Each structure stands twice: as structure tokens, then as C-alpha cells.
Amino acid sequence: MNWMFRALIASAILALAACGGGSPGEPPLAGARIGGPFTLTDQNGKTVTDADFAGKYRIVYFGYTYCPDVCPTDLTKIGAALRVLDKQAPRTAQKIVPLFITVDPERDTPAQLKQYVANFHPRLVGLTGSPQAIAQVAKAYAVAYMKQPTPSGYLMGHTQVAYLMGPDSKPITSLPLEKDPPAIVAELEHWVR
């Protein structure tokens, strides 16, 4: 089922990118209805809202800490890209807040998130909330997810995408998670001003 979510979001992103008119200065996701207000809990147990990140570029990635492969691979790439920026372009790096929003609030407590996000980048913010709050923010970001029972419990099938959102909270582009960290760095350097 996970491949269907990936195919769906990939098709949507390609369609949205085609609507951009091909102009190199116009963000691929300009005008897309992605993003919106939220109130969640960070890995330190603090309530945060989207307004807490106003004026910052955000990398928004949805996943879960029990993910066996996709999430850790993607977050490793994002973390590596941010470490490169931290060294090569610290001013650019400081303008970016990476967010990891769980799609598994049942298991992803703030304590669980704190331990998990520390593995990828020191500025990575882990966010959780009630199932209703997570459903609302996932819908706002066009992210689908579904519990998939397994013999040992369950996995969460979910859309695989990392959005770059602007300081105005508008979507700019999706990051090339299928490529290596230098490709992500290049995309961030292109859009973050």
C-alpha cells in the first residue's frame, strides 16, 4: 500500500511543478494548498504552534520513530545536508528549522521523539500530538498515512515527502529525497535566501 501513497504524492508534485510555468525563479509548489496552522507538542513536552516558526524556512517531514527503513534513511540524508550547510553556509543553515511530525502519536511520545531526533541533527524538532491534531496537520500538508497490522504489531504506511516551506509558511518545493545529500544541499541553497 505504501507504494500507492508514494506514487500519488509524486504525481501530485510533478503536476504542481508543471503548473509553475518552468520559470527558474518561481517555486515548483507556488500556489499549492500545502501547509497550515497547527498546535503540537515537541520532544521536550512543550506546546508549539506553526507561529513559533514564523520567519524561518522549514523542512517538514512526516514519519514515525518505529519506521524500519524509509524514515531513518530520509532523515539521515536531511541531517547530512544540514551539517554540510552548517559548515559551508552557516547563515543559510540558521534560517532553516527541520521538523519531524509523527504519524504514529500512539507510540511517539515526546520522550520517544527526543531520543529519535537526536540521531539525525541537533536542530531537528520532533512533533507529536493527539490523533486528531496529527490527522489535521497531515491533511493540511497533503500527507496520507494508514496503520498496517503486522504479526508483531503494526507499521504506518505514509507519504514520503519533505517539503521546504518559506518564512511566510507557503510551500516552495519538495526536497529530492531519492537523491544524495549534496542534491538536497543544492536545493536548499537555491531557495533559501
The beta strands (E) that lie in 29-95 are given as 39-42, 47-49, 57-63
Please provide the distance, in angstroms rounded to a whole number, between the alpha carbons at the two ends of the chain.
Answer: 38
Q: Are the C-beta atoms of 174 and 162 separated by less than 8 Å?
A: yes
Site of grid cell 518552468: 22
Tell the burial category of 6 from Cβ atoms under 10 Å away from its Cβ (0-12, 13-18, 19+).
middle
C-alpha–C-alpha distance, residues 117 and 95, integer Å: 19
Binding positions for Cu cation are: 67, 71, 158
Q: For the beta carbon of residue 94, count every other beta carbon within 10 angstroms.
A: 12
Site of grid cell 507561529: 51
Q: Are the C-beta atoms of 148 and 156 separated by less than 8 Å?
A: yes
R_g (Cα) of the chain, nearest Å: 16
Binding positions are: 67, 71, 158
